Amino acid sequence: MDPALRAALEDQKAAQDFLTTQRKEAFAQFNMENRLGLIPHPDFYDYVQSGQVPVYIAAQRRLDEISQRIDQIQNMRAGPMSGSLRTDKGNLAKGRNEERDYPG
């Protein structure tokens, strides 16, 4: 395995672990503020998007950056298949995107 890809995968594992920890802490903070009546709309997604948990948002962005780095490494190695690989990953990204609805 390519050393750059190996390092990126190790970074991804660490970033995923950190994101999981931050998600738990953000959800605990959300529940506490919700019980206290400090949240007008008790929806965790809206709570995160409103910027109430910046460390969680930063951890999510860091994981996205690492994922993009892995995609770049894989696209460089894929050669002629890189177009097909990019299309497949784009479709998967659309499926994970909670901010928009896509046809299909």
How does DSSP assign 41-80, residue by residue? S--HHHHHHTTS-HHHHHHHHHHHHHHHHHHHHHHHHHGG
Closest CA to 26 of 13, 44, 50: 44
pLDDT tens, position by position, 61-89: 999 999 889 888 887 876 766 677 677 77
Low-confidence ranges of the chain (pLDDT < 50): none
CB contact at 8 A, 74 and 5: yes
Domain boundaries, the chain: 3-78
**What does the alpha-carbon distance between residue 68 and residue 90 come to, in Å, rounded to a whole number?**
11
Tell the residue number behind the tokens 């460089």, with chain if given.
76
What pLDDT does 56 receive?
A: 95
What pLDDT does 80 receive?
A: 65
Q: What is the pTM of this model?
A: 0.73
What pLDDT does 97 receive?
A: 66
